[in-house]
């Protein structure tokens, strides 16, 4: 089930369809902000941005041209007082601990074994310097920074990672390989024999989890989350979980309990154009043709993408109608200040984002946020 509170429509649609799923987009305002910031950055750096119009088919306030959503959508009678079950308004100890464990995993370290031989499948930290005919080449060295590899895997050229098996940390030896021909990463090296002077730094051992203490929280999580103690950490996680659960529940409830009599073809066209425009912008950033980009992602063409995702496209169109219907019913109006606040934009980045998306599109996504806030603010606890 997709969620109504879809604040990153463009990115969610494309990522979800390529993954072959109908998962929901993030419903936090931060996702909208990060998307906008990314677009602002790319639009200022792109040298050949394609001519696309994300706002085609929308009025100045971000509504669908000539369409009153409430003519097609019947909202549930309790849309403005949705009842939240108890399990939605509480966070279980298990869910809190799962999030704690996930955060701690980001600070985990590993034993560095220095007295064992490298075996196949071991994760090993190595340094190397590559040369051809005694001359070092660009990109052929770790520059002493060390890199983790899996012994015996085929991630490196030839049998490079097989040749490290049997060596011990502290040993330096030559790894002899032959570059494949052709070799797209560096055609000048294609088919040439190379020597990599390689040093085994250590073999990665068992994971070591940090101890969860007030000092750990204050030192590692305060700047990001504002927590100073374990108690504050757990309370903050609980608050975030409940917020997410409430949002997810309301998003699913409003979609499942709304009746959509029909979907105007113009709304379906809008969704298709959004997908097409997004990939064209992405392709231009990589200096590629849009169909070449899709091919690299395992999709034959834009036409194939649209054809294979007709059901998802219609579902997204239905949700857009429901979003607009909520805004119409609640008489929600959007201002420029709302757009800037919701997306975390400055006056400068606002203009950059508008150059890519256009004001109608950004007004539409902002109204979606406001409609979501309206639904959440008017929920009642069972």
Measuring CA to CA, how many Å separate 178 from each of 144, 188, 192?
23, 13, 6
pLDDT per residue rounded down to tens, the chain (382 residues): 344 344 344 434 443 444 433 233 333 333 333 444 444 444 444 445 578 899 999 999 999 999 999 999 999 999 999 999 999 999 999 999 999 999 999 999 999 999 999 999 999 999 999 999 999 999 899 999 999 999 999 989 999 999 999 999 999 999 999 999 988 888 999 999 999 999 999 999 999 999 999 999 999 999 999 999 999 999 999 999 999 999 999 999 999 999 999 999 999 999 999 999 989 988 888 888 888 888 888 888 889 999 999 999 999 999 999 999 999 999 999 999 999 998 899 999 999 999 889 999 999 999 999 999 999 999 999 8
Cis peptide before 293 (omega within 30 of 0): no
Indicate the helix (H) or strand (E) that contains 100.
helix 93-105
Q: Which residue has the tokens 């608050």?
A: 239
In 3D space, the residue among 228, 245, 226, 272 whose CA is nearest the CA of residue 57 turns out to be 272
* pLDDT of amino acid 51: 81
How far is the C-alpha of 204 from the C-alpha of 182, rounded, in Å?
A: 34
**What is the pTM for the complete model shown?**
0.72
Q: Which residue has the tokens 């079950």?
A: 85
Other CB atoms within a 10 A radius of the CB of residue 43 amount to 19
Q: Which residue has the tokens 């009746």?
A: 259
In 3D space, the residue among 9, 83, 94 whose CA is nearest the CA of residue 249 turns out to be 83
* pLDDT of amino acid 23: 31
Other CB atoms within a 10 A radius of the CB of residue 377 amount to 8
The DSSP output letter for 82 is: P
Pairing mode, strands 380-381 and 83-84? parallel
Q: Is 326:254 a contact under the CB 8 Å cutoff?
A: yes
Q: For residue 134, what are the contacts with CB-CB under 8 A and spacing of at least 6?
A: none
* pLDDT of amino acid 48: 53
In 3D space, the residue among 44, 94, 91, 14 whose CA is nearest the CA of residue 293 turns out to be 14
Q: Is 57:64 a contact under the CB 8 Å cutoff?
A: yes
* pLDDT of amino acid 26: 32
Measuring CA to CA, how many Å separate 191 from each of 164, 194, 197, 310, 363?
22, 9, 19, 46, 56
DSSP-derived secondary structure for 214-283: HHHHHHHTHHHH---SHHHHHHHHHHHHHHHHHHHHHHHHHHHT-EE----HHHHHHHHHHHHHHHHHHH
Q: Helix, strand, or coil here: 44? A: helix
């Amino acid at each position: 089930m997709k969620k109504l509170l879809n604040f990153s429509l463009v990115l969610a649609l494309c990522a979800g369809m390529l993954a072959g799923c109908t998962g929901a987009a993030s419903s936090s305002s931060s996702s909208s902000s990060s998307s906008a910031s990314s677009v602002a950055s790319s639009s200022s750096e792109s040298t050949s941005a394609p001519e696309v119009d994300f706002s085609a088919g929308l009025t100045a306030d971000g509504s669908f041209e000539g369409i009153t959503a409430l003519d097609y959508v019947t909202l549930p009678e309790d849309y403005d007082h949705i009842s939240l079950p108890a399990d939605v308004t509480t966070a279980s100890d298990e869910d809190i601990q799962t999030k704690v464990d996930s955060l701690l995993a980001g600070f985990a370290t590993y034993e560095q074994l220095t007295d064992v031989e490298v075996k196949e499948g071991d994760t090993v930290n190595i340094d190397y310097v590559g040369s051809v005919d005694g001359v070092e080449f660009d990109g052929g060295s770790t520059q002493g920074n060390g890199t983790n590899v899996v012994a015996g895997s085929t991630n490196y050229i030839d049998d490079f990672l097989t040749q490290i098996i049997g060596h011990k940390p502290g040993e330096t030896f030559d790894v002899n390989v032959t570059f494949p021909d052709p070799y797209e990463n560096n055609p000048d090296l294609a088919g040439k024999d190379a020597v990599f002077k390689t040093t085994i730094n250590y073999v990665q051992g068992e994971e070591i989890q940090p101890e969860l203490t007030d000092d750990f929280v204050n030192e590692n999580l305060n700047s990001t989350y504002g927590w100073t103690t374990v108690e504050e950490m757990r309370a903050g996680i609980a608050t975030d979980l409940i917020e997410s659960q409430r949002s997810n529940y309301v998003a699913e409830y409003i979609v499942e309990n709304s009746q959509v009599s029909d979907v105007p073809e113009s709304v379906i066209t809008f969704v298709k154009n959004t997908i097409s425009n997004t990939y064209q912008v992405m392709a231009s950033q990589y200096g590629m043709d849009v169909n070449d980009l899709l091919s690299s992602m395992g999709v034959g063409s834009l036409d194939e993408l649209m054809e294979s995702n007709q059901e998802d496209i219609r579902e997204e169109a239905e949700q857009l109608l429901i979003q607009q219907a909520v805004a119409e019913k609640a008489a929600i109006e959007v201002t420029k200040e709302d757009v800037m606040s919701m997306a975390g934009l400055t006056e400068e980045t606002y203009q950059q984002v508008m150059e890519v998306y256009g004001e109608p599109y950004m007004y539409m996504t902002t109204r979606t946020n406001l409609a979501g806030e309206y639904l959440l603010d008017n929920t009642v606890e069972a």
